[in-house]
Structure 1
Amino acid sequence: MKKRWKMIGVVCAIAILSAGCKSKESEAPTPSSTQDVPAETAETEYQPEPVETHEGEVRSFYTGEWMDEKKAKNRPVAVMTENTHVTLPQYGIGNADIIYECPVEGGITRLMTIYQDYASLKKVGNVRSCRLYYVYFAKEFEAVYFHAGESKYALDVLNSSFIDNVDGITGKGGAFYYRDNSRRAPHNLYTTGENLASAMKTYGYDTKLPENYTSHYRFTTEDSQNLLDQGEVAKKVSLYYVDAKPWFVYNETDGLYYRYEFGDKQIDGSTGEQLAVKNIILQNCYSNLKDSKNGTLDIDYLSGGSGMYITNGKAVPITWKRASANDITHYYTQDGQEIILNPGKTWVEIVENSRASQNKISAE
Structure 2
Amino acid sequence: MAGGEYKYVKLRKGCGAFERYGMKDHSDKVKGLLSDFSPNFRVTARRMIILTAVFLCLGLLAGCGKDEDEEEKPQETVQETVTKEEPSDVTKPAPEEEKEDPNKLDAGMMRSYLSGLPVDEKIGNRRPVAIMLNNLEAAQPMSGISRADVVYEYVVEGGITRLMGLFENYDDLDKIGSVRSCREYFVYTALEFDAIYMHFGQATYAVDLLAQDYVDNLNGLGEAGDTCFYRTTDRQAPHNVYTSAAGIEAGIKKLGYREDHYDGYKGKFKFCDLDKTITNENGASAKHIEPNYKINKPWFDYNEKTGKYDRYQYGGPQIDELTGEQLSYDNVILQYNKWAQLDQKDYLAFDCHSGGIIQYCTKGMFSIGTWRRDVDSAKDGNVDMAPVRYYDMEGNEIEINNGKTFVCVIQDTALDEIVLE
**What is the TM-score when the length of structure 2 is the normalising length?**
0.72
Following the alignment from structure 2 to structure 1, what is the Cα–Cα distance between the partners of residues 157 and 279?
36
CA contact (8 A) 1:124 1:192 kept: yes
Following the alignment from structure 1 to structure 2, what is the Cα–Cα distance between the partners of residues 57 and 300?
36
Q: CA deviation at 1:222?
A: 3.7
CA contact (8 A) 1:98 1:347 kept: yes
Whose strand proportion is higher, 1 or 2? 1
Q: Structure 1 residue 158 and structure 2 residue 210: aligned?
A: yes
Match of 1:316 among 359, 367, 371: 367
Following the alignment from structure 2 to structure 1, what is the Cα–Cα distance between the partners of residues 216 and 107?
33
Partner of 2:188: 136
Match of 1:257 among 309, 312, 318: 309
CA contact (8 A) 1:167 1:174 kept: no
Q: Structure 1 residue 88 and structure 2 residue 140: aligned?
A: yes
Number of residue pairs the alignment of both structures matches: 310
Larger radius of gyration: 1
Aligned to 1:306, what secondary structure does the other structure show?
Answer: strand
Q: Structure 2 counterpart of 1:229, which letter?
A: E
Give the stretch that moved more between structures: 195-204 or 66-75.
Answer: 66-75
Q: CA deviation at 1:210?
A: 1.9
Following the alignment from structure 1 to structure 2, what is the Cα–Cα distance between the partners of residues 158 and 361?
36
Q: Structure 2 counterpart of 1:85, which letter?
A: E
Following the alignment from structure 1 to structure 2, what is the Cα–Cα distance between the partners of residues 214 and 160?
22
Following the alignment from structure 1 to structure 2, what is the Cα–Cα distance between the partners of residues 136 and 215?
15
CA contact (8 A) 1:59 1:65 kept: yes
Q: CA deviation at 1:55?
A: 4.3
Partner of 1:305: 356
Following the alignment from structure 2 to structure 1, what is the Cα–Cα distance between the partners of residues 224 and 244?
16
Q: Structure 2 counterpart of 1:194, which letter?
A: A
Following the alignment from structure 2 to structure 1, what is the Cα–Cα distance between the partners of residues 168 and 227?
22
Aligned to 2:385, what secondary structure does the other structure show?
Answer: coil
CA contact (8 A) 1:54 1:66 kept: no
Following the alignment from structure 1 to structure 2, what is the Cα–Cα distance between the partners of residues 336 and 159?
36
Q: Structure 1 counterpart of 2:207, which letter?
A: L
Q: Structure 1 residue 66 and structure 2 residue 118: aligned?
A: yes
Aligned to 1:325, what secondary structure does the other structure show?
Answer: helix
Following the alignment from structure 1 to structure 2, what is the Cα–Cα distance between the partners of residues 359 and 309?
13
Match of 1:342 among 387, 395, 401: 401
Q: Structure 2 counterpart of 1:208, which letter?
A: D
Aligned to 2:173, what secondary structure does the other structure show?
Answer: coil
Kindly report the root-mean-square deviation, in angstroms, between the aligned alpha carbons of the 2 structures: 1.3
**What is the TM-score when the length of structure 1 is the normalising length?**
0.83
Q: After TM superposition, list the pairs within 5 Å mapping 1:87-126 onto structure 2.
A: 87-126=139-178
Partner of 2:347: 296
Aligned to 1:171, what secondary structure does the other structure show?
Answer: coil
CA shift digits 1:331-358 (9 cap, x unpaired): 1111111110100011111000111211
Following the alignment from structure 1 to structure 2, what is the Cα–Cα distance between the partners of residues 172 and 196?
10
Partner of 1:29: none
Q: CA deviation at 1:228?
A: 1.0
Give the stretch that moved more between structures: 52-61 or 209-218.
Answer: 52-61
Match of 2:257 among 205, 228, 231: 205
Aligned to 2:309, what secondary structure does the other structure show?
Answer: strand
Following the alignment from structure 2 to structure 1, what is the Cα–Cα distance between the partners of residues 260 and 117?
19
Q: CA deviation at 1:211?
A: 3.2
Match of 1:236 among 278, 282, 288: 288
CA contact (8 A) 2:333 2:361 kept: yes
Q: Which ranges of structure 2 fall in alignment gaps of 5 or more residues? A: 1-103, 376-382
Partner of 2:40: none
CA shift digits 1:188-244 (9 cap, x unpaired): 100111111111111100111123221211111342111111110111111110000
CA contact (8 A) 1:280 1:347 kept: yes
CA shift digits 1:83-132 (9 cap, x unpaired): 01000000000000100100001010000000011111110000000001
CA contact (8 A) 2:333 2:358 kept: yes
Q: Structure 2 counterpart of 1:57, which letter?
A: M
Q: Structure 1 residue 357 and structure 2 residue 416: aligned?
A: yes
Following the alignment from structure 2 to structure 1, what is the Cα–Cα distance between the partners of residues 278 and 110?
20
Aligned to 2:342, what secondary structure does the other structure show?
Answer: strand
Following the alignment from structure 1 to structure 2, what is the Cα–Cα distance between the partners of residues 321 and 213?
18
Q: Structure 2 counterpart of 1:313, which letter?
A: G
CA contact (8 A) 2:143 2:322 kept: yes
Following the alignment from structure 1 to structure 2, what is the Cα–Cα distance between the partners of residues 127 and 171?
16
Higher RCO, Cα 8 Å, sep 6+: 2
Give the stretch that moved more between structures: 276-285 or 169-178.
Answer: 169-178
Following the alignment from structure 1 to structure 2, what is the Cα–Cα distance between the partners of residues 224 and 175?
43
Q: Structure 1 counterpart of 2:186, which letter?
A: Y
Identity %: 39
